[in-house]
Amino acid sequence: MIQNPILPGFRPDPSIVRQGLDFYIATSTFEWFPGVALHHSRDLAHWRPIGHALTRSSQLELRGVGDSGGVWAPSLSFAEDKFWLIHTNIRQRLTNFKDIRIFLSTAPEISGPWTDPIALDSIGFDPSLFHDEDGRKWLVNMVWDFRKGRSRFAGIVLQEFDVRSESLIGPRKKIFEKPVLIEGPNLYKRGGWYYLMLAEGGTGWNHGISMARSRSLWGPYEEDPHGPLLTTRDTLDSPLQKAGHGELVETPSGEWYLVHLASRPLPPSRRCLLGRETCLQKVEWTADGWLRLAGGGWHPKLEWPAPQGLHAQPWPALLEREDFNAPSLDSRWSALRVPMEKSWISLAERPGWLRLRGRDSLHSLFEQSLVARRIEEIPLRIETRLDFEPVGFTQMAGLIVYYDTRGHYYLRVTWNESHGKVLGVVSTDEGSYDELGDIAIGNWSSIYLRAEIQREVLCFFASANGSDWIAMGPSLDASKLSDDYGAALRFTGAMAGVCCQDVGGDRSHADFDYFQMSRL
């Protein structure tokens, strides 16, 4: 059986492609570096992370981009014996204007090497590349209209991409619009019809997927009279809420599946701490040429039979504990906005330990020394051991549970004039910084740090020997680390990791012996 979500945790805006017997999914990474997370399966049920497409500064510049900016909605395709990747870099998003860059990269293999991106246009976001049967290629995008009194989502446009000149050519023509939020367009051709698949209704509780079709690439496109292909906007009962933004894939035996995002609310607040996750639904074509969820309806299901003709291929289980003995971190780790460069992160300077050199504060959009992994399940325990000798209050290091610069919880070691080395919890809530109490730890031989999340409650603990644990700070509201909390639209997900700050500029370092995330 295929169990949803197939990619748990913060893995939104999935794009799927098949090459032979292999399936690949690309997902959004926003302000996290490297960009565009990639996953691989051979049976659609079992998936493994295989790295990222955008791994170099020449491919992706994120310094200064705001929270929930950066890499939105990649689109992955395969044609002419290579992979094609469209991605959006949102540099600014919180005014009438969106400062957008659309890029194209290619690679001979999913593992790369991926080319430095070709700049296309800036008219909208979440586009895709359609490869028509005659070999021509078309960028299908939405239009963002910043003008007063206008709909921000101003329709779907099409423009040809010329491979020889590596540029968009010819007119950009609007092919479809409707008086709701439509984005994330994808084109498919089947049975003489061009099908336009759209993310509709925004990325929250009204999200969904709709379809339209035309005999001509340029339209006119008629909407599916059945209504949405997939949505949960009409029900609170589905365990998979906010369902939308999808793509199609056909198996070797001719079955069709829809990959899409969805979120799982936690009681009692119904906030989605695990973020927007990747799910898969089986779909079927009707006799009159429309697409439907297998079995009818439009609500996503938690499980489906695996495709015919594909043998189950589970992958080796990923280790819960990272002992930092490898020459590099595995692909589950990400940094904020900047590459993991030896100027601030090292696995070699102290073998068996991860060393971070302190830089900007946790509120910075530029150079944080923070690495983290996605929270994929709850209840969860997160643990590390820290070796750190601060000599001033500007130096901090510890265990972080993070949503963005405006929302996170931090169990950190620092120094103060009264007690020397101290340990305590600090929080940032809607940008407001608070300190929730410190204890002196100058006589501790070691510093073990732990976080536990059960439903919507986060608690921190600490130990001087790894055996005897004491509670640190109050119980905290973990549900605030979600898209659903706060005044601003947010699109990422909860992460957990380790970090070091030296806002005085002395670049003090902290060493971490291990990092473990395990289900309680």
* pLDDT mean over 69-91: 98
Q: Could you report how far apart the first and last alpha carbons of the chain are, in Å? A: 25
Q: Residue 310: pLDDT above 90?
A: yes
Using an 8 Å Cβ cutoff, are 239 and 264 in contact?
A: yes
Residue indicated by tokens 């130990």: 463
Residue indicated by tokens 């189950």: 312
Quick one: tokens of 502? 């030296």
Q: Of all helices (H) and strands (E), which one includes residue 142?
A: strand 137-144
Give the number of other Cβ atoms within 10 Å of residue 391's Cβ. 12
* Alpha carbons 180 and 25: distance in angstroms, whole number: 28
> pLDDT value at position 445?
87
* pLDDT mean over 331-336: 98
* Alpha carbons 217 and 171: distance in angstroms, whole number: 14
Backbone angles phi, psi at 415, to 5 degrees: -135, 145
Beta bridge partners of 15: 26
CATH number of 321-519: 2.60.120.200
Listed residue (234, 245, 131) closest to 189, CA to CA = 131
> pLDDT value at position 106?
98
Going by DSSP bridges, is the β-strand pair 395-404/303-304 parallel, antiparallel, or unpaired?
A: unpaired
Residues taking part in catalysis: 13, 183
Q: Residue 491: pLDDT above 90?
A: yes
Going by DSSP bridges, is the β-strand pair 395-404/407-416 parallel, antiparallel, or unpaired?
A: antiparallel
CATH topology agreement for domains 2-7+13-304 and 321-519: no
> pLDDT value at position 473?
97
Q: What is the pLDDT of residues 220-230, one digit of tens each?
A: 999 999 999 99
Q: What is the pLDDT of residues 347-378, one digit of tens each?
A: 999 999 999 999 999 999 999 999 999 999 99
* Alpha carbons 197 and 126: distance in angstroms, whole number: 12
Q: What is the pLDDT of residues 40-63, one digit of tens each?
A: 999 999 999 999 999 999 999 999
Beta bridge partners of 72: 88
CATH number of 2-7+13-304: 2.115.10.20
Largest CA distance in the chain: 77
Residues in the chain, total: 520
* Alpha carbons 34 and 339: distance in angstroms, whole number: 7
Q: Of all helices (H) and strands (E), which one includes residue 128?
A: strand 128-131
Using an 8 Å Cβ cutoff, are 352 and 321 in contact?
A: no
Going by DSSP bridges, is the β-strand pair 420-429/432-440 parallel, antiparallel, or unpaired?
A: antiparallel
Q: Residue 195: pLDDT above 90?
A: yes
Query: Confidence class of residue 201 from pLDDT cuts 50, 70 and 90?
Result: very high
Is the alpha carbon torsion for 323, 327, 328, 332 positive or negative?
negative
| DSSP letter, residue 508 | -
Quick one: tokens of 253? 């035996």
> Considering the chain, what is the average pLDDT of its residues?
97
Buried b (16+ CB within 10 A) or exposed e, 322-350: bebeeeebebbbbbbbbbbeeebbbbeee
> pLDDT value at position 236?
94
Quick one: tokens of 176? 């479809």
* pLDDT mean over 391-395: 98
Using an 8 Å Cβ cutoff, are 355 and 509 in contact?
A: yes
Report the side by side order of strands in the sheet with 70-79.
70-79, 82-92, 99-107, 118-119
Listed residue (160, 128, 135, 163) closest to 248, CA to CA = 128
> pLDDT value at position 484?
96
Beta bridge partners of 400: 410, 497
Q: Where are the domains of the chain?
A: 2-7+13-304, 321-519
Listed residue (226, 244, 232) closest to 291, CA to CA = 226
Residue indicated by tokens 């963002």: 144
CA separation, residue 297 to residues 26, 292, 301 (Å): 27, 8, 10
Q: What is the DSSP string of 5-25?
A: -SB-SS--S-EEEEETTEEEE
> pLDDT value at position 488?
87
* Alpha carbons 464 and 313: distance in angstroms, whole number: 43
Q: What is the pLDDT of residues 98-134, one digit of tens each?
A: 999 999 999 999 999 999 999 999 999 999 999 999 9
Calculated CA dihedral for residues 204, 206, 208, 212, nearest 10 degrees: -130
Q: What is the pLDDT of residues 430-460, one digit of tens each?
A: 999 999 999 999 999 899 999 999 999 999 9
